[in-house]
Amino acid sequence: MIQNTAALRGLNGIYAKPGSQIVVFYGREGCGKELYIRHFLKGKAFFYYRAREISAEEQKRVFLSEVMKQYHIDPEEAEFDLDICFRQMQAKDGSKLVIVMDEFEHLIRKNSEFLESFMKLRQESADGGAVMLLLCSSSLVFVEHKMAPLMGKSFYEIDTIHKIAEMNFIDVVRAFPQTPVSECVQLYGVLGGIPSYLKRWDAGRDVKDNICRNILSCNGSLFLEAERFLRMELRELSVYHTILTAMAAGYSKLNELHKYTGYSRAKVSVYLKNLMEFDVIEKVVSFETGREENAQKAVYRIKNTLIHFWFTFVFPHLSDLYLFQPEEFYELHIAGDLDRYLERYFVCVCMEYMKLMNRAGRLPIRIHKMGTWVGKQGTIDIVAQNSIREKIVGICNWSKEKMPYSYCEKLEMLMGQAHIKANHYFLFSGKSFDPALRKLAEQDQRYTLIDMAQL
């Protein structure tokens, strides 16, 4: 599932540079970090250590023990310290050594010795050859909000910080070559682009069966996974669960969440900030048109796909989850609303299509900026703009069998509210189009219809 991706190419590009480097490589749990590391280390001299959440003294003891074991050092020959350890690791043939410190937050939170030794490794010219120190972590909160203050001046010695992104939709399609693209949209809207989740999806089974076996069954590999993920770095789960329940039900503004939950606006703001730091939710910014009186302000939505699915369909009905069989629960609470839920993810797929076509030079204008206009009376799914403000607007239909002509009429109304004029219209449908829309596209070259076959 992880091949010659941008992340791997980036690591190998840094490794190829002369001299020593310090690289921070991180991503949320399940992002495939360990698999990336294994692929990167192939054919290279390396030392790998995965830090534990233990005392500083025990951490040092375990680390020294693993160094001695790998490098066949008799512990009675000398009393090792960390600096000597790192020097001992350096390759004798002058080649670059990769030292991987996985979950490195456990090293530097409690023991400044490790951090000091890392910096010496970076600053001193190594007698035995250059070193690439790869500091890896599964904690987004630590790397993005706590690492810099903890490291102080040493933070500026880091050469590169790379965040492992979720797999794009095109990557998901490539990972499931025998699965129809329409089913890939569905699994993408349930699991997102997390490699460790996607590995559990059985391409030989349909969407319903996969959801029942993996998510709804008490023996499923992703049963309660959404709640377990929240427990990793968040406390006061009752507050977070309440806020996420409200958001999944459609309450997206600060004031709406305040009224629904009964928590003060200040409290809701703090917890929203924490959820954003953990990449669970995001703040949706409407495409700027210069006239914002009809646009929504400060709209929040759940970003983590599995958490969004869980709090939309499962968490509000936990009693039924334990009472009914998975197939019964699916028919009762998921089947009727799944297509409506997937509309948002189909928009993401269509945006990715636009980006790919833009990169290939196959759009009528060269896009420099793209987003969604979020209005008080509706949303323009895609607004794309070039350097001289020429625009493409797009609307997306997943749930209806045929995109109705009324979608075009509503789009024109919303464009008026947004004060947008478009040079081109892209209409995306997961199934088909109303004959009136097909006739419109034949008569007006500004309109382009894109169905699932083209996607």
Query: What is the tens place of the pLDDT at every residue in 88-111?
Result: 776 566 678 899 999 999 999 887
Position 3 scores a pLDDT of 53
Closest by CA to 343, choosing from 288, 285, 407, is: 407
> What's the CA gap between 423 and 447, in Å, rounded?
9
Compute φ and ψ for 133, nearest 5 degrees: -95, 115
Please, what is the average pLDDT of the chain?
A: 92
Give the pair of three-digit tokens for residue 97.
Answer: 């050594």
- Give the other-Cβ count within 10 Å of 356's Cβ: 14
The pLDDT assigned to 90 comes to: 65
> H helices then E strands: how many in the chain?
22, 14
Q: What's the pLDDT score for residue 39?
A: 93
- On the 0-12 / 13-18 / 19+ scale of CB atoms within 10 A, 43 is exposed
pLDDT tier for residue 330 given thresholds of 50, 70 and 90: very high
Comparing CA positions, the residue from 134, 106, 175 lying closest to residue 36 is: 134
CA distance 134 to 127: 20
Q: Does residue 2 register a pLDDT over 70? A: no
Mean pLDDT, residues 362-368? 96
Residue-wise pLDDT for 418-433, tens only, equals 999 999 999 999 999 9
* 47 torsion bin: left (phi>0), alpha (psi -120 to 50), beta (else): beta
Residues 6+ apart with CB under 8 A from 107: 51, 59, 101, 114, 115
What's residue 95's pLDDT?
78
Domain ranges of the chain: 6-163, 205-336, 349-450
pLDDT of residue 5: 73
pLDDT in tens, 239-286: 999 999 999 999 999 999 999 999 999 999 999 999 999 999 999 999
Topology of the domain comprising 205-336: Arc Repressor Mutant, subunit A (1.10.10)
Burial class (CB in 10 A: 0-12, 13-18, 19+), 412: exposed
Q: How far is CA 109 from CA 23, 50, 57, 136, in A?
A: 18, 15, 13, 14
pLDDT at 346: 98
Q: Considering only residues 74 and 274, tell me which one the structure prediction assigns the higher pLDDT.
A: 274
Of residues 438 and 128, which shows the higher confidence score? 438
Give the residue-averaged pLDDT of 66-87.
72
What pLDDT is stored for residue 119 in this prediction? 80
pLDDT of 387 reads 95
- In this prediction, residue 86 carries a pLDDT of 73
Note whether 346 and 430 are within 8 A (CB). Answer: yes
Element (H, E) at 273: helix 265-277
HSE-up of 149 (CA within 13 Å, CB side)? 5
pLDDT in tens, 44-56: 999 999 999 999 9
Specify the range with the lowest mean pLDDT, choosing from 226-230, 297-301, 318-322. 297-301
Q: Would you say residue 156 has pLDDT above 70?
A: yes
Report the CATH fold assignment for 6-163: Rossmann fold (3.40.50)
CA–CA separation, 433 and 404 (whole Å): 7
Asked if residues 384 and 421 have their Cβ atoms less than 8 Å apart, the reply is no
Helix axes 181-191, 338-359, angle to 10 degrees: 110
436's tokens: 């009136």
- Determine the average pLDDT of the residues in 329-347: 97
pLDDT at 82: 74
pTM summary value: 0.92
Cα torsion at 302, 304, 307, 312 (round to 10°)? 40
**Secondary-structure class of domain 349-450 per CATH:** alpha beta
What does the pLDDT look like over 161-202, one tens digit per residue?
999 989 999 999 999 999 999 999 999 999 999 999 999 999
Give the H/E segment covering residue 241.
Answer: helix 237-248
pLDDT at 1: 55
Give CA–CA dist 186/176, Å, rounded. Answer: 12
- 205-336 and 349-450 agree in CATH topology: no
